[in-house]
Amino acid sequence: MLALGQDEIAKYPFLADAGQYLKDQGFSLEQFGTDPDLRDLIRKAYDRILVAADGKIYKSDLDGDHVSKEAALPREVFSFLLAIVLLKLSGMHTLIKRFALAEARRAEKYLERDLANISDESKNQLAIRVIDDLFSVQVEKSGDYFVIPISDYLKHSINFHEREWKLINRHVENGQVFLSPHETVRLIRKELGTYINSKIINARTPTMIPGFEDSVNKLVLLSKKFVTYTATTGEYPPCIKHAIEILEKGENLPHSGRFMLASFLLSKGQTVQQVAPLFKNAPDYNERVTLYQLNHLAGTSGSGTQYSCPSCEKLKTQSLCFATSECDNIINPLQFGRKKK
Amino acid sequence: MQEADISFLEDSFKKYYFNHFDLIKVPERTSEREFGYQKFNSGMTRHISLKDDKELHLLLMQNVPSDVYCSNAYYTFPNLPMNEKDWKEADLIFDIDAKDLNLPCRENHTVSICNDCNDVSKNLTRCLKCNSAKLEKKSLPCKNCIDASKIEVEKLSEVLINDLAIDEENIQVYFSGNEGFHVYVYGSQFQEIGSRERSELTDYISLRGAIPETFGMRKLKQDRASFPDFDENGWRGRFSKHVFGSKSKRSKIITELIANGYSSFQKTLDDASENIGVKIDPNVTMDIHRIFRLPGSINSKSGLTKIRCDDLIKFDPYVEASFLSDDTVEVFANSPIEFKLKSKKFGPYLGEKVTVPTFAAAYMICKKLARIA
């Protein structure tokens, strides 16, 4: 674990060991519920969650790189730790996810500023170490850029769907990818969110603490707002239609195309017996092999894993994508025609 | 395939395996690899683990497979079912196949075999005899196809070495045994990356999915300085050489590109991807559990051997990869196109009984263009 100073903990509170921090500061959780001087911090923690639930970034008391008042530092950390306690007590996963994401984006701002800080080498090094320790991305400075090995880059960039993150749209040289401070930090945003999320999920849930009830109840009510309903049109996406057309014509659909079609239909709830006849027209049709492979995909034989339909990105690589405007930026054919209500 | 053909091929393959143990070696870290094989007219037997060359040779002698495979992946338990193998890492592999290059020569040396009536013809869309569309296409040797595939191998090596910092010594090139090449990369930073990462890598190597901004073109507020320089590294450099042609034309062509607009630039990029992108089969590279044809083994699509190419430029697969015997055999051949193997011409044969060397007979039988008479 990194050795952190007070203002680093305020910037990256998720790096601290919560229990230890409270102990070091000489407080217990119960005190926050009862002590009138400390109760205000629960409100602050609640606000921090509220802002996150709204999709915004919590505006902290930290001003730039420095804090206006020494006292603000621990308050900043406490509100984070108490927010986690409130979230755990409410048990609302949608709120935890939103909070983790917002906190990740807040930390991202500081990481970016620290990375770009040319005047203070130690800030620079800390940011580089946080990224390496937490996400195993080896960042090196090279002029105005940060360079990371292509393999490290790919492990993170595959989570992005925007084309500018594709390796082909990056400055690649000598086995490394060149990134700006902003891009370096953006690269690990999701993992930062996942890291904070898993820290919260894995934290012990305390029993209800007197003085915390009100805020917890309000959070439970709040989370109900985020339930969404979806409806589908039932129509097949163009890639699936195309594959079916090819088979109907008796032409050859490559193995990857057959995999897409079968895994799509099986995921939509069709049975192996319903899917199998589709392949009858294939030039190399063999009933035994078809059933074997379909059962394998469905998870009824072999490893027991049910295979899911490949992503749009993968289908593009395999030249199986025939996207139309109706695809509407979906990332997997299974999402086609789904409308949020 | 009929019994007599199978036993002829099995005999010929067995002879080859027995006489050429020196060519068939297990790869490094043998006990961490998964092996598999196929027999004629039968399915795949896989999840096999082997200790050394001796065990491999025993397997070949006992089973006389039509095809032999070995994983590019390393596992703790290669002989267990897939989800219990405990995947550790995998060598990067690439497949370059002449069939994927869309060369104009293809139709001159491709024949089709009707799945319904077995008629062989040069017509590639419908069977002339029974009008069925279920045609199986078989391509015969073509120097042009091999030369074009070699160029792709050269292009691939260039990207691997210059962009991905792969050591030239860690790249090995093999003739696939049919009409292409297999390239292996050992010990790179990519050993441990998964399938989705490898898929991204294939898009990079093929110059696929590029956006105009990457090559300097913007939607608004153009900046001439953001277009690539002639001497730049990576795809920007290769793109500028392809599009500008020479240093002196750079400025004039940038003016044209800007005048033609953003969407026209996307077309320029698609065209560049088609011309300078490396044509690899993405499915092979992104598969981290593949069992890939074993070096030294025979490819049953042709009867030729998958062998290492030490001198790619001089390499002639139709001479150097044909190891089956010269003993003659009588076959009933139906190969409407002439072909050359071991510097000898064969065909065209129009449904006739002919006596040919084993290597040529095996070639035609593997292609379903002949049967033992």
Q: What is the pLDDT of residues A228-279, one digit of tens each?
A: 555 666 788 999 999 988 888 777 788 889 999 999 999 888 888 888 888 8
pLDDT at A23: 83
CA-CA-CA-CA torsion sign (A35, A39, A41, A42): positive
Q: A70, A2 in Cβ contact below 8 A?
A: no
Cβ distance of A154 and B197 shorter than 8 Å: yes
- Give the tens place of pLDDT for each residue, B153-191: 999 999 999 999 999 999 999 999 999 999 999 999 999
- Residue A201: what pLDDT? 87
What is the domain partition of chain B in residue ranges? 3-99+142-203+281-372, 207-276
Q: What is the per-residue pLDDT for B132?
A: 84
Q: Using CA of residue B197, residue B203, residue B204, residue B205, what is the dihedral sign? A: positive
Chain B partners within 8 Å of A316 (Cβ): 208-209
**Is 90 exceeded by the pLDDT of residue A94?**
no
With an 8 Å Cβ cutoff, are A149 and B283 in contact? no
List the single residue in B164, B200, B282 with the smallest CB-CB distance to A166: B200
Residues of A with Cβ-Cβ distance to B83 under 8 angstroms? 303-305
Q: What is the pLDDT of residue B346?
A: 96
Helix (H, G, I), strand (E, B) or coil at A140: strand
Q: Note whether B193 contacts A151, CB cutoff 8 Å.
A: yes
- In this prediction, residue A339 carries a pLDDT of 64
Smallest Cβ distance to B204: which of A167, A176, A302? A167
Residue type, B344: K
Catalytic residues of B: 95, 97, 281
Q: Are B67 and B293 in contact (CB under 8 A)?
A: yes
Q: Hey, are the CB atoms on A316 and B196 less than 8 Å from each other? A: no
Q: What is the pLDDT of residues A97-120, one digit of tens each?
A: 889 989 988 888 888 888 888 778
A148 to chain B, minimum CA–CA distance in Å? 12
Which residues of B lie inside 8 Å of A (Cβ-Cβ)? 43, 81-83, 115, 132-136, 162-166, 189-190, 192-193, 196-197, 199-204, 207-211, 213-214, 233-235, 282-283, 286
Mean pLDDT computed over A317-323: 88
Higher pLDDT, B342 or A56: B342
Chain A hits for B282, Cβ within 8 Å: 317-318
- For A149, which residue in chain B has the nearest alpha carbon? B189
Closest chain B residue to the Cα of A175, Cα to Cα:
B164
Q: What is the dihedral of CA A52, A56, A61, A62, to 10 degrees?
A: 110
Task: Out of A131-135, A240-244, B112-116, B329-333, pick the least confident.
Answer: A131-135
Q: Are B177 and B301 spatial neighbours (Cβ–Cβ below 8 Å)?
A: yes
Residue A314 near residue A260 (C-beta atoms within 8 A): no
Q: Phi, psi (5° rounding) for residue B46?
A: -130, -165
Cβ neighbours of B235 in A, within 8 Å: 168, 172
Are residues A164 and B211, on separate chains, in Cβ contact within 8 Å?
A: yes
**Under a CB-based contact definition with an 8 Å cutoff, are residues B206 and B156 in contact?**
no
Q: What is the mean pLDDT of chain B?
A: 95
| Cα–Cα distance measured from residue B159 to residue B154, given in angstroms and rounded to the nearest whole number | 9
Nearest to A105 by CA among A162, A155, A59: A59
- Please determine, for residue B247, whether its predicted confidence score (pLDDT) is greater than 80: yes
> Nearest CB to B163: which of A172, A249, A304?
A172
Contact A302 B211 (CB under 8 A): no
Q: Residue B18, Cα to own-chain centre: how many angstroms?
A: 26
Task: Find the radius of gyration of the CA atoms of chain A.
Answer: 25
Peptide bond into B357 cis (omega under 30): no
Comparing alpha-carbon positions, the chain B residue that sits nearest to A257 is B283
Three-state DSSP class for residue A233? coil
Shortest Cα distance, chain A CAs vs residue B163, angstroms: 5
CB contact under 8 A, B200 and A284: no
Q: Which two tokens stand for residue B298?
A: 């025979």
Yes or no, beta carbons of A175 and B197 under 8 Å apart? no
3-state SS of chain B is CCHHHHHHHHHHHHHHHHHCHHHCCCCCCHHHCCEEEECCCCCEEEEECCCCHHHHHHHHHHHCCCEEEEECEEECCCCCCHHHCCEEEECEEEEEEHHHHCCHHHHHCEEEEECCCCCEECCCCCCCCCCCCCEEEEECCCHHHHHHHHHHHHHHHHHHHHCCCCCHHHEEEEECCCCEEEEEECCCCCCCCCHHHHHHHHHHHCCCCCCHHHHCCCCCCCCHHHCCCCCCCHHHHHHHHHHHCCHHHHHHHHHHHHHHCHHHHHHHHHHHHHHHCCCCCHHHHCCCCCEEECCCCEECCCCEECCECCCCCCCCHHHHCCCCCCCEEEEEEEECCCEEECCEEECCEEEEEEEEEHHHHHHHHHCCCEEEC
Q: For A173-183, what is the mean pLDDT? A: 94
Residues B193, A303: C-beta atoms closer than 8 Å: no
**Dihedral through CA B344, CA B349, CA B354, CA B357, nearest 10?**
30
pLDDT in tens, A204-227: 888 888 888 888 998 888 887 776
Rounded Cα gap, residues B286 and A135, in angstroms: 23
More confident position, A92 or B109? B109
Q: Comparing C-alpha atoms, which of B303, B362, B369, B296 is closest to residue B336?
A: B369
Tell me what pLDDT residue A338 has: 78
Indicate yes or no: CB of B204 within 8 angstroms of CB of A168. Answer: yes
Average pLDDT, chain A: 84
Residue whose C-alpha is closest to residue B322's, from B195, B175, B108 = B175
Residue B123: what pLDDT?
78
Quickly state the pLDDT bin for B331 (edges 50, 70, 90): very high
Q: Residue A173 belongs to what H/E stretch?
A: strand A171-173
**3-state class (DSSP) for residue A174:** coil
Find the distance separating the first CA and the last CA of chain B, reported in whole Å.
13
Helix axes A213-223, A72-90, angle to 10 degrees: 60
Contacts of B101 (CB under 8 A, 6+ apart): B145, B148, B149, B152, B279
Q: Report the top-level CATH class of B3-99+142-203+281-372.
A: alpha beta
Q: Cβ contacts (< 8 Å) between A305 and chain B: which residues? A: 83
* Contact list, B232 vs chain A (CB under 8 Å): none
Residues 6+ apart with CB under 8 A from B313: B150
B301, B335 Cβ separation under 8 angstroms: no
Tell me the whole-structure pTM to 2 decimals.
0.81
pLDDT band for B357, please (50, 70, 90 cuts).
very high
Whole-number pLDDT of residue B273:
95
Nearest to B13 by CA among B361, B373, B355: B361
Q: Provide the percentage of residues in chain A whose pLDDT is more than 90.
A: 20
pLDDT higher than threshold 80 for residue B16: yes
Asked whether the CA dihedral A273, A278, A281, A283 is positive or negative, the reply is negative
Tell me what pLDDT residue A270 has. Answer: 86
Using a CB-CB cut-off of 8 Å, the residues of chain A touching B201 are 150, 154, 167
Nearest CA to A283 out of B147, B126, B294, B237 is that of: B126
Please tell me the distance from the alpha carbon of residue A252 to that of residue A282, in angstroms, as a whole number: 6
Q: Which residues pair with A145 in a beta bridge?
A: A142
Q: Which of A42-51, A136-145, B1-10, B355-364 has the weakest average pLDDT?
A: A136-145
B103 band by pLDDT with thresholds 50, 70 and 90: very high
Distance CA A174, CA B167 (A): 11
pLDDT value of position B287: 95
Would the CB atoms of B165 and A251 count as touching at under 8 Å?
no
Q: Which residue has the higher pLDDT, A276 or B235?
A: B235
Angle between helix axes B250-260 and B234-244 (nearest 10 degrees) is: 90
Q: Is the CB of residue B202 less than 8 Å from the CB of residue B286?
A: yes
Alpha-carbon gap: B22 to the closest alpha carbon of chain A (Å): 35
Domain limits of chain A? 6-135+189-226, 138-187, 232-340
- Using alpha carbons, select from B291, B323, B287, B302 the residue that is nearest to residue B366: B302
Nearest CA in chain B to A310: B196
CA distance to partner chain A, nearest, from residue B275 (Å): 16
The token pair that represents A80 in the structure block: 């984070």
Least confident of A62-71, A141-150, B71-80, B265-274: A62-71
In chain A, whose CA is at the least distance from the CA of B190? Answer: A151
Contacts of A142 in chain B (CB under 8 A): none
Do the Cβ atoms of B211 and A167 come within 8 Å? no
User: CA end-to-end span of chain A, whole Å?
Assistant: 45
pLDDT classification of B343: cutoffs 50, 70, 90: very high
**pLDDT band at A26; cut points 50, 70, 90:** confident
State which H helix or E strand residue A19 sits in. helix A18-25
Q: Is the pLDDT score of A65 beyond 50?
A: no
pLDDT band for position A123 (50/70/90)?
confident
Q: A136: left (phi > 0), else alpha (psi -120 to 50), else beta? A: left
Interval A44-54 mean pLDDT: 90
Query: What is the ipTM for the molecules in this complex?
Result: 0.93
B202 vs A151, A256, A317: nearest CB: A317
pLDDT at residue B26 above 80?
A: yes
Enumerate the residues of chain B whose CB falls inside 8 A of the CB of residue A164. 211, 213-214
Rounded CA separation A46/A27 (Å): 19
Q: How far is CA A229 from CA A37, A226, B188, in A?
A: 43, 10, 46
Contacts A–B by Cβ distance under 8 A = 103
Q: Between these two residues, B218 and A1, which has the higher pLDDT value?
A: B218
For helices A93-116 and A213-223, the axis angle rounded to 10 degrees is 100
Q: Do B211 and A174 touch (CB under 8 A)?
A: no
Residue B322 pLDDT > 90, yes or no?
yes
